[in-house]
């Protein structure tokens, strides 16, 4: 991460880095509140931190699901968070034409798992010169993600991160194969474990994705133990009232205790 984001605080600490924040930007006050709390925690424990928030949710089960507060409004909130707290920010993009627009506001562009094979999207993201975080498709092997990495690097951008978020297991569940972390690290890029989306339970008959947040700690501990460079954890002060993915987010009050445990594991295995 030192070469990818030179401004990332504590990148020499030996800790894993953290991508964390709400699933979606629901409003300025909420986003600032979450960012301030996580910055306090990560500064205290010297954990490099990247604020995460989606400016728009394009992949929804139902047409009446929350998608966002407006692209420009949400992106400006992300930009403000980056400036006020002096931290990098990351958001997802969904189409090639969104890459340049989003790059004007954030430091890292994230490619959603379902779109990780979209060549035009990967090339457009690469051409911005930003760090590109590619989420592994639930339908792909870890080994096949080398081709996604190659698309970005062959476009002239060496700044790539890969994020695992589990594999489709039947119709309504996901399972994490931790062998994928060292396999993807062999491509010469940092590898992140998405500890919240990997616990989703999609395709519920209600049209609202379920989840198992009680297992976030289990997934996170295992990921650090096998060498993950970073963790992706969506968090919210009121997950039950979150407008997107509340069923699998970590309650904000639980974050520090979890990170303390994970820092100890990191120290033990390095």
Residue 2 has pLDDT above 70, yes or no: no
Residue 60 has pLDDT above 60, yes or no: no
- Give pLDDT, residue 204: 52
Q: Is residue 174 part of a domain?
A: yes
**If you count them, how many residues does the chain have?**
270
Angle made by CA atoms 250, 16, 213, in degrees to the nearest 5:
15
* CATH number of the domain that residue 147 is part of: 3.20.20.70
Mean pLDDT of the chain: 93
Question: For 45, how many CA atoms within 13 A lie in the half-sphere containing its CB?
Answer: 23
pLDDT one-digit tens code per residue, 102-122: 999 999 999 999 999 999 999
Q: Is residue 8 part of a domain?
A: no
Q: Which of 203, 195, 263 is closest to 234 using CA atoms?
A: 195
Q: Is residue 27 part of a domain?
A: yes
Residue 245 has pLDDT above 80, yes or no: no
Domain with 258 in it: 17-269
Q: Is residue 12 part of a domain?
A: no
Q: Does residue 54 sit in helix, strand or coil? A: strand
Residue 194's CB is within 10 A of a number of other CB atoms, namely: 24
Q: Is residue 1 part of a domain?
A: no
- Give pLDDT, residue 203: 54
**Picking from 119-128, 173-182, 235-244, which range would have the lowest pLDDT averaged per residue?**
235-244
- Give pLDDT, residue 61: 58
Residue 48 has pLDDT above 50, yes or no: yes
Q: Give the rounded percent of residues in the chain with a pLDDT score beyond 90.
A: 83
Q: Is residue 7 part of a domain?
A: no
Q: Give the rounded percent of residues in the chain with a pLDDT score beyond 70.
A: 93
Q: Which of 19, 44, 14 is closest to 230 using CA atoms?
A: 19
- Give pLDDT, residue 206: 54
| Angle formed by the axes of helices 119-127 and 96-103, nearest 10° | 20
- What DSSP designation does 198 have? G
Distance CA 59, CA 68 (A): 12
Please compute the mean of the pLDDT values over residues 128-144 and round it to a whole number: 97
CB 237 within 8 A of CB 251: yes
Instruction: Report the number of distinct structural domains present in the chain.
Output: 1
CB 60 within 8 A of CB 67: yes
- What DSSP designation does 152 have? H
Residue 117's CB is within 10 A of a number of other CB atoms, namely: 17
Q: Is residue 232 part of a domain?
A: yes
pLDDT one-digit tens code per residue, 160-214: 999 999 999 988 889 999 999 999 999 999 999 999 999 977 755 455 556 788 9
């Amino acid at each position: 991460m030192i070469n990818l984001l030179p401004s990332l605080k504590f990148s020499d600490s030996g800790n894993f880095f953290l991508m964390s924040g709400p699933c979606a930007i629901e409003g300025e006050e909420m986003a600032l509140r979450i960012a301030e709390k996580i910055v306090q925690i990560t500064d205290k424990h010297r954990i490099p931190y990247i604020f995460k928030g989606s400016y728009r949710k394009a992949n929804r089960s139902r047409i009446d699901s929350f998608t966002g507060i407006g692209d420009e409004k949400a992106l400006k909130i992300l930009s403000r968070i980056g400036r006020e707290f002096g931290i990098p920010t990351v958001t997802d993009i969904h189409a090639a034409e969104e890459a340049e627009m989003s790059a004007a506001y954030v430091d890292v562009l994230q490619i959603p798992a379902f779109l990780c094979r979209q060549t035009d999207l990967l090339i457009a993201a690469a051409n911005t010169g930003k760090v590109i975080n590619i989420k592994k498709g639930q339908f792909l092997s870890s080994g096949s993600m080398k081709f996604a990495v190659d698309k970005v690097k062959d476009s002239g951008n060496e700044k790539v991160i890969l994020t695992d978020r589990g594999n489709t297991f039947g119709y309504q569940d996901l399972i994490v194969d931790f062998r994928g972390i060292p396999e993807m690290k062999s491509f010469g890029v940092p590898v992140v474990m998405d500890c919240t989306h990997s616990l989703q339970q999609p395709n519920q008959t209600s049209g609202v994705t379920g989840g198992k947040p009680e297992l976030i700690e289990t997934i996170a501990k295992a990921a650090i133990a096998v060498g993950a460079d970073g963790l992706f954890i969506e968090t919210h002060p009121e997950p039950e009232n979150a407008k997107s993915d509340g069923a699998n987010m970590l309650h904000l009050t639980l974050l520090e205790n979890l990170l303390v445990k994970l820092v100890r594991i990191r120290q033990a295995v390095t």
